[in-house]
Each structure stands twice: as C-alpha cells, then as structure tokens.
C-alpha cells in the first residue's frame, strides 16, 4: 500500500534513496514501492524542502542518458542529523501537552506529535497516519489568515466560486476550521454584513488592509455545537431529527455518532431497528452525511426532510434503472 503515507515518512524514504551512490531519476523515485503516490510537483517541493530545511546539497552533474539522477553530493549526509534535533523539540512538546491529556482541544495535537515521534520506522514506513490532504489547493493561505486573526487586521480577498465569476470582498477573519479534508475561514463579510465561511481552495489572492478591524463576540467553541460540518444558517432553528437505523449499522453509528446530541429512543426500538434522535440545525453537510448511509438510515422526522429525501432517492432510483 503506497497511498496515505505521512509526509515525514516520505522524507525519510527520500533520504535513503538520495544516499544511494548510483542516484535515482524522478520517475524511479515516484515509482519506488515505499514512496506513496504523489505528483512530480509535490516530489520537487519535497526535494526543495530537503535543501532549505535540512541543508541537503544535491549532485548536479549525474545523468543517465538525458535524465538527471538525483543524489546527495555527500552520500554520507542524512536529514536524520537535523531530524534528531526536531525529535528532541517534539519530545519536550509532548511532555508539556501531557498536562492536558483528555482535553479534546489538545489531544489531536498530542496524537500528531506522537505520530511524528514514534510513527515512522527506520525504513521510512509509517505506523500512524492522519486524514490530511497535503496537496489541497489553498493551504498557502492558512498562514496569512492566521496572521490576520492574531494581529486583528482585515484582508481583501479575491474569490472564485465554482461556475461563477471571480469577485473581491473585504473580510475580517475570525476562525479557521478543517472539515472533510477541506479548510474554511470564517470571517465577517463587508458585502454581506454578516459572518460567512469561505473554503480556502477557492481563494485566489489575499491582501493586507490598513483599516479598522471589526471584532466579533461569536464564541467559535460553541459555534459548531448545533451543526454538522461548517454551514451554520443564521436564521435556522434547532430541529428534532428522528432516524430509524438498521441494527446491522447501529454499532458503527454508536461508536461514531452523527452528532453530539445523538441519543437512542429505546422505547421505539425493535429486534431489527434502532431509533435515534438528533437535535441540531439541518444543513447540507447533515443531508450528505445521511445520504452516505444509503438504506441503513430512514428519516422519520421532520416530515419536510423525509419528503425531500423521498424525492432525492426517487431521482437516484430513476438514474439507476436498467
């Protein structure tokens, strides 16, 4: 399996390949069985990182035919010389974060650092991976947005929606959130006069604005309590959603609840079905989540959502008629 390899594990394997005296072409590196499936662009970015972060110096005059061979100029060099210093920093960070063990705000950071510290073997194979997408468009916007949030200044954002014209808007950013392998910024829009969320992969440009920053009193630790995902409709109210779940799927839903408000209506349960209740705002992310379970979940309440899903499933059935 070559997919989903942690970035550090990939750099470890590249380090091994680049120490080989005979060198490797880019194609040979990309098809190495211990390197995950990545683009040539990302591979070149990784090689550049080895230069800039770890001080690697590459041989520039080695070729096989017309193809350049990649190798360290000094085959005794290894990024582990620098990585050992990084591991010491990680170890100290873990010791400090252990004071917050059990706090969900810090546990994911601890687990990620544990993955860096212990999750890679000497061969570069990963023992621990995370559901990240290192090649997603827009990640370069994270740092400038964090700077704007931290130092409280607005940004001029150029934004290109799907299938629509690009436009510019002044935003006052408050919060960054990752959902379903996609990053979003939550910001006050001067055009809409309210908080909007914008996926970072649709942002084409950000510019610092020297004008007053509009603060917010929104508590983003509570902002997501009543929703699944990122869409929090301002004028929507919390609704009671009752679902009938096949007992073949209920154990999975118990261990991975659809929402924090999930409870079982034991008085309605049967040998084959379990009824669960959610109390939340209904949004597109919830609808997509329920659709992902197929016929394992049936919507009982509210009636309007049941009717909507009946129409959706009828169209799906029509699509698959043979």
Mean pLDDT calculated for residue range 244-271: 93
Calpha distance 151→232 (Å, rounded): 26
| Mean predicted confidence (pLDDT) in 48-69 | 91
How distant, in Å, are the alpha carbons of 208, 243, 262 from that of 277?
45, 6, 6
pTM over 0.75: no
Instruction: Spell out the residues 6+ positions from residue 219 whose beta carbon is closer than 8 angstroms to its own.
Output: none
| Torsion on CA atoms 41, 124, 90, 221, rounded to nearest 10 | 60
Fold of 139-208: SH3 type barrels. (2.30.30)
> What pLDDT, on the 0 to 100 scale, is given for residue 223?
92
Domain range 239-319, CATH architecture: 2-Layer Sandwich (3.30)
List of E strands, 102-201 = 155-159, 167-179, 182-189, 194-199
For the segment 74-90, the average pLDDT, to the nearest whole number, is 71
pLDDT at residue 294 in the model: 92
pLDDT higher for 67 or 110? Answer: 67
Any idea which of 6-15, 101-110, 210-219, 289-298 has the lowest mean pLDDT?
101-110
Average confidence (pLDDT) over 254-272: 93
Stretch 235-249: mean pLDDT: 94
Confidence tier at 91 by pLDDT (50, 70, 90):
low
Closest CA to 238 of 259, 253, 254: 259
**DSSP H or E segment with residue 88:** helix 80-97
pLDDT band for position 4 (50/70/90)?
Answer: very low
pLDDT at position 97: 65
Q: Is the pLDDT at 293 greater than 80, yes or no?
A: yes
Owner of token pair 């601890």: 110
Asked if the bond preceding 88 is cis, omega within 30° of 0, the reply is no
């Amino acid at each position: 399996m070559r997919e989903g390899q942690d970035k550090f594990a990939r750099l470890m394997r590249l380090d091994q390949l680049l120490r080989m005296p005979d060198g490797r072409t880019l194609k040979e590196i990309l098809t190495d069985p211990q390197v995950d499936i990545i683009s040539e662009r990302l591979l070149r970015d990784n090689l550049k990182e080895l230069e800039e972060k770890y001080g690697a110096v590459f041989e520039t005059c080695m070729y096989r035919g017309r193809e350049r061979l990649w190798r360290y100029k000094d085959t005794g060099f290894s990024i582990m010389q620098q990585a050992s210093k990084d591991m010491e920093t990680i170890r100290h960070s873990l010791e400090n974060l252990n004071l917050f063990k059990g706090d969900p705000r810090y546990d994911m950071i601890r687990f990620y650092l544990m993955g860096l510290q212990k999750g890679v073997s000497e061969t570069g194979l990963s023992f621990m991976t995370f559901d990240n997408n290192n090649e997603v468009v827009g990640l370069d916007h994270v740092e400038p947005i964090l700077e704007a949030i931290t130092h409280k200044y607005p940004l001029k954002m150029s934004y290109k929606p799907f299938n629509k014209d690009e436009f510019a808007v002044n935003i006052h950013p408050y919060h960054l959130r990752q959902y379903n392998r996609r990053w979003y910024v939550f910001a006050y829009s001067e055009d809409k006069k309210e908080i909007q969320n914008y996926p970072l992969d649709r942002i084409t440009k950000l510019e610092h604005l020297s004008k007053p920053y509009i603060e917010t009193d929104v508590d983003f630790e509570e902002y997501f309590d009543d929703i699944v995902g990122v869409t929090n409709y301002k004028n929507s109210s919390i609704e009671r959603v009752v679902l009938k779940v096949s007992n073949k799927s209920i154990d999975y839903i118990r261990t991975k609840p659809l929402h924090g408000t999930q409870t079982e209506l034991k008085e309605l349960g049967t040998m084959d079905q379990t009824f669960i209740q959610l109390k939340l705002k209904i949004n597109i992310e919830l609808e997509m989540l329920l659709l992902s379970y197929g016929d394992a979940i049936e919507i009982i309440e509210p009636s309007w959502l049941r009717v909507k899903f009946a129409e959706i499933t009828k169209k799906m059935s029509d699509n698959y008629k043979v």
